[in-house]
Amino acid sequence: MAGNMTRNYQKELDEITAHLPESGKRKLLLHSCCAPCSSYCLEYLSEYFDITVFYFNPNITDKNEFDKRAAEQERLINTVNNDWRSRIFESIKFVRGEYDPAVFLEISRGLEKAPEGGERCRKCFELRLGESARYAKENGFDYFTTTLTISPLKNAHVLNEVGSIMGERYGIAFLPSDFKKKNGYKRSTELSKQYDLYRQDYCGCAFSKAERMAQIKDNK
């Protein structure tokens, strides 16, 4: 599926939300990589959708790291459900996806040396968004999307292209986004401080961690 690099995905999202019915919020499955990235996305989207956060990240090859991020995600949701009670339609819900890093390692075979942001990352997006689309379709959601576009290090065009492909494959609407726009990333850092969230310094897989460690070593 060929994409248009000039598309403004955030504008497309704004147009969709502007035309949603005022009563009966649509059900959205929000794939989340971690609590900090989800913070602004939840603040923004909770005005328009009944949200379930889907934490599916088998790319995190360290089990302790996976568990730590999952617990932090759940803590954030429990906190904001209380703090935002007066303005959100329904309490934000949480689903912890199956953890099987062997699945990620299998799709990464032969791409171990690929740079961050390259073909290995696209395969990772396909894995995580594919499972999100499948879960959303099988559980009666109206839309699915991902927090990943909030990162300045992630290619929003590739993520939206993959999301659209997976939506078509499973028959579920993919909500376009570029959450870093409109100061979204800046707001996520503010919310992370407000809620004292654990912020990791690498994406999650062993390959991104090794690359990050090398960068730190070079900077020293």
pTM confidence score: 0.93
pLDDT in tens, 26-79: 999 999 999 999 999 999 999 999 999 999 999 999 999 999 999 999 999 999
Q: Tokens for 201, please give them.
A: 């310094």
C-alpha distances in Å from residue 162, one per residue of 2, 27, 50, 118, 187 = 10, 21, 23, 14, 26
> Residue 28: exposed, middle, or buried by beta-carbon count in 10 A (0-12, 13-18, 19+)?
buried
Q: Tokens for 185, please give them.
A: 């990333």
152-157: Cβ within 8 A, 24+ apart: 152/180, 152/185, 153/116, 153/117, 153/203, 154/117, 154/121, 155/117, 156/9, 156/180, 157/3, 157/5, 157/7, 157/9
pLDDT at site 203 = 82
Domain span at residue 205 reads 9-219
> Average pLDDT in the 135-152 region?
97
Judge whether 2 lies within some domain. Answer: no
pLDDT at site 168 = 98
pLDDT in tens, 158-196: 999 999 999 999 999 999 999 999 999 999 999 999 999
Structural domains in the chain (count): 1
CATH number at residue 141: 3.40.50.620
In contact, 164 and 77? CB cutoff 8 Å: no
In contact, 172 and 54? CB cutoff 8 Å: no
Residue type at position 111? L
Q: Which of 98, 117, 200 is nearest to 158 (CA)?
A: 117
- Locate tokens 């959601």: which residue? 141
Judge whether 90 lies within some domain. Answer: yes
The number of residues in the chain equals 220
User: How far apart (Å, rounded) are the C-alpha atoms in residues 14 and 66?
Assistant: 32
pLDDT at site 212 = 64
- Locate tokens 């986004």: which residue? 177
- Locate tokens 């969709």: which residue? 16
In contact, 159 and 5? CB cutoff 8 Å: no
- Locate tokens 């395969």: which residue? 123
The strand pairing partners of 30, in sequence order, are 53, 145
Angle at 147 between CA 62 and CA 150, to 5 degrees: 105
Judge whether 1 lies within some domain. Answer: no
